A and B are shown apart, each in its own frame.
Chain A
Amino acid sequence: MSVSSTTGETSGGSWLYDPKVRSIFAQVVVVGSVVALFYFIIHNTAVNLEKRGIASGFDFLWEPARYDVTGGFLNVRSTQTHWDAFMAGLLNTFIVAVFGCLAATFLGVVMGVLRLSKNWLVSKLAAVYVETLRNVPVLLQILFWYGVFILMPKPKQSLALFDMFYFNNRQFLGPKVFFGDTPALSAAEQEAMIHRMGEVKYNKLVEASGGVENVPAALAESVKPVFGTGSWILPVSLIIAIVGVVLFRRWAKKRQENSGEQLPVFWISAGTIVLFPILCVLLSGTAVNVQYPELIGFNFVGGASIPVAFMALWFALSTYTATFVAEIVRAGILAVNYGQTEASFALGLRSGQAMRLNILPQALRVIVPPLTSQYLNLTKNSSLALVVGYPDVVGTIGGITLNQTGQAVECIVITMAVYLFFSLVISMFMNWYNKRIALVER
């Protein structure tokens, strides 16, 4: 009572001490200074750019890049635009990020489980793997793998496997499979090819692809993807197989709940996904063309190839990130009460089944949130591609384009937007997955 009356009496200066007023004031000050700071930075940048006569805007994206993008999964020529170069970089970043996350998850789960193994040697080996790789900067690991790969034999002395797979210090190569009849290039198209690549090169390709009749497939490799008649059969049958498997699994689950009978669901699903498309291709009589890599001059021509820069980056990022994943998985498993394991055994489950059907699903709830940040880290770390010359977004739009056009602000903004976009997509996907596996409260 007395307190309230005191406040009433001294009301003249009291609003100064009112926590509500104070906190509003503090927030206004903070927001105001942040806005002012950004205004200052943006305004100053604009003024300084103008003073130095540096044009701003995104028009440069539609001008010819004037440099070639090679050494990734999509080559872009100097006559194509900066936008095309950016797209190639984006694709390359996307590929390392996706394959990196997949490999890191697989390796991480295996290592995390092995580290909990009752076998002393196995668990210690897993522990050594985690503790060493986790503590070496990933940049060094990328350089290490790159160093290992460039010490491989040169193209002329490539290690060969069945005359189909080749390993050298630039690329790993294998046969490339085309489905469907690739339409023969018209005389005019052949003319254009010869003009573009020169007669010598064209003849070499004819030779490499084993005759003029095979040339379209070979040309497709260096010119554009050719979707021949019948090539739709493979993707369509794959989609049908996947849909079929999803329906089958639902049905099998229901059946098991009703009758208790179990089916070898995994083998049936896997078999369908692999065999059904192949069967469709074979039965429909779709042509299958295989093109083998061939050493011509300095390097291999044709076939499917993976650059060593990618291999180095991919190995390093996934083995490094897998150490963190392993720890997360281990923590997740340990978080599940041991009583659950005992209960599984009491129900007659074998230890593999107990892990797969009981422990891991519960552990996932603990594992998924921190896993998300590992995926984000891997994606962001992929920007270290630069040190091995793998042309990712940072190397193309954020590197060469930035440097050659001088449009630093625009290029950095684009590069940031790419990473932001990847991060948001990963977060969204993981949040969705996390919700799906969350405990269903009844």
Chain B
Amino acid sequence: MKMKVGTLVFGAAIGLTAAAANATTLEDVVARGELICGVSTGVAGFAAPDDQGNWSGVDIDVCRAVAAAVLGDASKVKYVPTTSKERFTALQSGEVDMLSRVTTWTFSRDVGLGFEFVGVNYYDGQGFMVPKALGVTSALQLDGATVCVQTGTTTELNLADYFRANNMEYSAVNVETADESRENYLSGACDVYTTDSSALAAARSTFDDPSAHQILPEIISKEPLGPLVRHGDAQWGDIVRWSFNAMVVAEEKGVTQGNVDDMKGSNDPEIQRLLGTDGDMGKQLGLSADWAYQVISQVGNYGESFERHIGVNTPIGLERGLNQLWTKGGILYSPPMR
């Protein structure tokens, strides 16, 4: 019975999006006065609700940036928590306008599932965490281990590949959310916890005794995490892409939440185009002229968002590393605003 209802709902959902698809996503969002953003169920520093139910994190900031650009108010977002497994159905069925949910950009998702990834807001790779007491120093010593892994992720596929390539065996404990992983790992139902290494650091920061756990040196995959939208609405894809790029360009140009008002008087042409004092980029996107100004004044630039939520001064303590600007030794690089 459950299954039957599920399919009907699924069928109906796909059926109904056809009806709704006549309006563009931008028109829908403006008419609704609210952006519906699919996020994770809780990864500290990326997307996590506080005691009052206010969400924060670098993934949340991408949603906020889009809301600021489109609606002029970064707080007009409804966050829909999705598990790794549900997230794509949520986007496909039109339940959410976009996903910003530690999601790896892969060929099959971009092409096969009919999505459009609009950028990378965190360059990551998959790692392994073990209790120090286990005495393991390399992932190559994990033969025969029991591994906690989230289903519906690239993680489970990389895990299978890595163990097979190295002639090792494992047994998986498949879980649906980061919380369940944590519970199983801490109770010892698995020896190892594997996921994107940023998420490992985030999880470790929430443990009672983070120092008793160690992230192994091997990084076994590329995990470019970024926001995505449905195929077929190019304008909406552009809006999300450039709302995020605005944060990167702002950092590159030294525009911050604090100085953005002063920067309006800057005579750097790219800053002028960015802040809408010159050119008509806003109009081309179907937005107001100050769209990027709203993003930066309400959300901040990429570096500010990074340091606020996951940087070295937070409990998560991630280095910028690859996520440093290209001019400073990283690979963070936005196409020019021109």
Q: A interface vs B, CB < 8 Å?
A: 40-42, 44-45, 47-49, 51-55, 66-68, 70-71, 77-79, 150-151, 154, 169-170, 196-198, 200-201, 296-299, 301, 308-309, 380, 383, 386-387, 389, 391, 395, 399-400, 403-406, 408-409, 412-413, 415-416, 419
Contact = CB atoms under 8 A, between A and B. Distances in A.
A45 B156 CA distance: 29
B2 A383 contact: yes
Given A53-B114, A68-B160, A198-B168, A403 B88 contact: yes
Q: Which 3 residue pairs are nearest across A and B when measured between Cβ atoms? A: A52-B114, A198-B167, A78-B160
Contacts, number: 148
B157 A66 contact: yes
Given A54-B112, A408-B89, 5 more contacts: A52-B231, A67-B156, A77-B160, A308-B189, A409-B10
Contacts of A196: 167
A383 B1 CA distance: 11
A45 B14 contact: yes
24 contacts: A41-B8, A41-B11, A44-B14, A44-B15, A52-B231, A52-B232, A53-B111, A55-B112, A68-B159, A68-B163, A78-B157, A150-B187, A170-B146, A201-B168, A298-B191, A299-B146, A387-B176, A400-B174, A403-B152, A404-B108, A404-B157, A412-B3, A416-B4, A416-B7
A342 B12 CA distance: 60
B188 A169 contact: yes
Contact of B151 (A52, A53, A403, A409): A403
Q: What does DSSP make chain A's interface, helix, strand, loop or mixed?
A: helix
Contacts of B188: 150, 154, 169
A151 B188 CA distance: 8
Contacts of B169: 197, 201
B173 A389 contact: yes
Contacts of B159: 68
Interface of B: 1-4, 6-8, 10-12, 14-15, 17-18, 84-85, 88-89, 92, 108, 111-114, 142-146, 151-152, 156-157, 159-161, 163-164, 167-176, 184, 187-189, 191, 230-232
A297 B146 CA distance: 11
Nearest to A52: B114
B15 A41 contact: yes
Contact of B176 (A386, A405, A408): A386
A404 B88 CA distance: 10
A360 B172 CA distance: 46
Contact of A48 (B8, B18, B84, B146): B18
A437 B143 CA distance: 55
A150 B189 contact: yes
A399 B152 contact: yes
Contacts of B84: 403
Given A66-B157, A169-B187, A47 B18 contact: yes
B112 A412 contact: no
Given A41-B11, A49-B14, A170-B189, A400 B112 contact: no
Contacts of B189: 150, 169-170, 308
